[in-house]
Chain A
Amino acid sequence: MLTVCLCLTFILTMNPGVAVAEKPIKIGLIDCYTGGAAAFTKPALVAWQMVTDEFNAKGGLNGRKIELITRDSKFKADEALAHARELVLKERVDFLAGTVSSSAALAVSEFARKKKKIFMVHISRSHRITGELGHKYIFRGCPSAAIEGMAGGYYAASKPFIKWYIIGDDYEYGHSIADNFWKGLTKHKPEVVMVGEAWPKVKETDYTPYLTALMAKKPDAVYAAFGASGLISFMKQAKLFGLFDKIPVFAFALADSLFPKVLKENMPVGAYAAGNYLWYYPESPANKAFLKRYLEYTTKLGKPDHYPSGIGAFGGFCSAMFLTKAITKAGSVKTAKVIKALEGLTINTAVGPIRMRGCDHQAITPAFWGKIANVPGYPFPVMKDIVMTPAKKVIPTCKEIAAARKAAKKK
């Protein structure tokens, strides 16, 4: 008996074919699962699980299945970096993915570059991630603030407002989306002027002094550049001031299903808003199929979600699709091969095909702008008069990206 056992052990350890076939493909997902950001990171994780479960059910990569390993970065760049290190050096993950925080994404990105590991960004938006600080190993499956901010400027330029006030969270994302918005707006409407700007600290509790100062400047319109948790507090307090019936407010992410879910009747009806994905638009078979697929999966998890978040669920879905499709296409998990497969890869989504641009590794995504209104038949305020801004019109060109990267290297 003992000899048989020994022989078996010998055979198993000596036969690399058997061992490799059983070894899972490991994806290390670093994100903030504890604070307010969990409103995005949890649905994003569900989307990753959905996509990788489907990948595994189809037999994986020649029998190799994907295993997701999650780590909580608590919205801190240094913690995210420590997890990235542990995931690569100890867990020996094949790919890194994450994060909701832009500064955490930049920290992990630098590490991924040094370790030559692919890092798939799925929520954070700072244009610098795939812009001037981009490199060979970083990809982003969700929109960038360059796309979304410029799209906002492009949309706002079609409205008659001249005097603008900008207020936003004083961190990477707030500045990035506001800068790009202003760039887009001035490009398409050079006569606009900025009458004031304010940058409250992240997680500010009380925006009253900002709101009184803002309203006293009597701008024609306000651009609000907040992350999720700041946007909720700001909208709530702005509503107390009756800001929305006095001054038009533009806010990017506000159309994401997260906000009406949390704000309910405090949702600022009349504000201009946008999202990268809307569960009610376009009313295409592809969108309906995605809704059904996501609802079925979340029902299986015991938490049915009828209104997937664009920033969370859709961003996670696209990123996971890009990575799994590239692995299948490359027929390998080797970094060089998967990079090659990812560049120029197109996935079919609920909003149409989305392509991963080869030159900067940025997914080319559309944005949807409109005005928040109470529309009969919907459970909460949604957008009306929706305009889709195709990314082609607003995204920085490959040439601009190359120049920005070159300039950043010189610094």
Chain B
Amino acid sequence: MDFDASMLFIQFISGLSRAMILFLIASGLTLVFGVMGVVNFAHGSFYMIGAYMAFTLTQGLTGSVGFWAALLIAPTIVCIIGGLVEVILLRRIYDKEHLLQILLTYALIFIFNDAIKMIWGVDLRIVDLPESLAGFLTLFGHRFPVYYFFIIGVGLAVALLLWLLLKKTRFGKLLRASAEHRQMVDLLGYNVGGLFTLVFIMATWLGGLSGAVIAPTVRLSLGMGIEIIIEAFIVVIVGGLGNIWGALLGALIAGQIYAFGILYVPNYAMAFLFILAAVIIIFRPYGLLGKQAQARG
């Protein structure tokens, strides 16, 4: 293959946009695990609900208004549902074994799937782009859609906000403290239960946001949550379970592996990601940025 720098560049941008799609979903997943120690299989369902909400809102409000409203309202509704799930269900099983958590969050996938089937039916649906973000830019002779730059921007903004929240605020300190030692924080008089509810609401808000942001690029269907969650899990594992920067790093690696895999060996693009995950699990089971000995209940 002849060397073409502009082609490598456009493929890099492509990988970056995929990385941000993965990061948006992985961020909520890793936040819940990092602070609460819960593997939330149902995270994909919150992403799916966000996407379907975006569909309804863009149908109801035509033009660009609908899209921006969806970006605001869909995650809000999703995080209200998330809060209810935490208060009514999740809260009861924190001190139980992990198997129960997996059973519960896995069961939620089926419940949400059927709920969506009842509300929206099984037809394939698409969400329209706002006019202002339609179209493409031409970079060094290659076209790239404006909307994916928007996705990259949202991904970077989420990463920055999470970093500020965790490192620069009192709330963030409390979160990190309860992740390290829940009982101690509890004994110091802080309401850890309330803190967990807040974290779960934040994580599901991120799930809903990723659904609303990604919706205009895909077709909506039942099961779209499961389609993407496996890759998001790999990203989280590669980066280190529970680590936000790890999720970002994992997503960036996964995106580039994917983009360049497709360019050179398209038939095995997916395999590389799984091989990477396998290598990481064998040699560095706590992930690239994870801590080696994290005590968890």
What is the interface of chain A, defined by CB distance below 8 A to chain B? 33-36, 38-39, 42, 196-199, 201, 203, 205-206, 208-213, 215-216, 228-229, 232-233, 236-237, 240-242, 246, 258, 262-266
Residue in B7, B143, B270 whose beta carbon sits within 8 Å of that of A242 in the complex:
B143
**Would you call B14 and A34 a contact (CB within 8 A)?**
no
Whether A242 lies near B136 (C-beta < 8 A) is yes
With A36-B124, A209-B14: A233-B219 Cβ-Cβ less than 8 Å: yes
A228 vs B259: C-alpha distance when bound (angstroms): 24
Give the shortest distance, in Å, between A302 (CB) and chain B (any CB).
Answer: 14
Contact pick for A210, options B10, B13, B21, B262, CB 8 Å: B262
Determine the chain B residues whose CB is within 8 A of the CB of A264 once the complex forms.
126
Q: How far is the CB of A299 from chain B (nearest CB, A)?
A: 19
Residues of A within 8 A of B262 (CB): 198, 209-210, 213
Residues of A within 8 A of B145 (CB): 208, 237, 240-241
- Shortest CB–CB separation between residue A278 and chain B, in angstroms? 20
The stretch from B70-78, B175-183, B201-209, B221-229 touching chain A is: B221-229
Output the nearest chain B residue to A75 by Cβ-Cβ distance: B223
In the complex, what distance in Å separates the CA atom of A222 from the CA atom of B266?
Answer: 16
Report if B32 contacts A (CB, 8 A): no
Given A209-B11, A213-B266, check contact A38 B122 (CB 8 Å): yes
**Chain B interface, >50% SS class:** helix
Query: CB distance B218 to A233 under 8 Å?
Result: yes
Residues of B within 8 A of A39 (CB): 122-124
Complex partner residue of A212 from B11, B223, B270, CB under 8 angstroms:
B11
Cβ contact of A205, chosen from B147, B214, B222, B269, cutoff 8 A: B214
Contact A212 B217 (CB under 8 A): no
- Chain A residues near B291 (CB-CB < 8 A): none
Cα-based distance from A237 to B228 in the complex (angstroms): 17
Contact (Cβ within 8 A) B124 A262 = yes
In the complex, how many residues of chain B place their beta carbon closer than 8 angstroms to a beta carbon of chain A?
A: 45
- Which residues of chain B are near A206, meaning CB under 8 Å? 17-18, 21, 217-218
Ordered by A's residue number, 17 sampled pairs between the chains whose C-beta atoms are within 8 Å are A38-B122, A38-B123, A196-B266, A203-B223, A205-B218, A208-B14, A208-B18, A209-B14, A209-B18, A210-B262, A213-B262, A237-B145, A237-B218, A240-B134, A241-B145, A262-B124, A262-B126
Contact B21 A205 (CB under 8 A): yes
- Kindly supply a per-residue 1/0 record for chain B positions 1-41, scoring 1 wherever the CB is within 8 Å of any chain A CB and 0 otherwise: 00010010011011101100100000000000000000000
Residues of B within 8 A of A42 (CB): 122
Q: Which residues of B contact A33 (CB under 8 A)?
A: 122
Assess the B217–A263 pair: CB atoms within 8 A.
no
Given A205-B217, A206-B21: 9 more A-B contacts, CB < 8 Å: A35-B221, A36-B122, A206-B218, A209-B259, A212-B14, A215-B142, A216-B263, A232-B126, A241-B144
Q: A35 and B14: CB pair below 8 A? A: no
Known contacts A209-B259, A233-B219, A34 near B122 by CB under 8 Å: yes
- Contact of B191 with A by CB under 8 A: no
Q: Give Cα A209–Cα B259 distance, bound, in whole angstroms.
A: 5
Contacts of B128 in A (CB 8 A): 265-266
CB distance from A264 to the nearest CB of B (A): 8
Residue B52 interfacial (CB < 8 Å): no
Question: Please, which residues of chain A bring their CB within 8 A of the CB of B144?
Answer: 212, 241
- Kindly state whether residue B132 has any CB partner on chain A within 8 Å: no
B67 at the interface (CB under 8 A from A): no
Question: Is B196 part of the binding interface, using a Cβ–Cβ cutoff of 8 Å?
Answer: no
Please state if A205 and B123 are interface contacts (CB–CB under 8 Å): no
* B267 CB-CB contact with A under 8 Å: yes
Report the Cα distance A233→B214, complex, angstroms. 12
Residues of A with C-beta under 8 A to B217: 205-206, 233, 236-237, 240
Q: How far is the CA of A207 from the CA of B11 in the complex (A)?
A: 12
Assess the A34–B15 pair: CB atoms within 8 A: no
Chain A neighbourhood of B122, CB < 8 A: 33-36, 38-39, 42
Per-position contact with A for B119-151: 1 when CB-CB < 8 Å, else 0? 000111110110000111000001111011000
Residue of B nearest to A196 (CB): B266
Residues of B within 8 A of A35 (CB): 122, 221-223
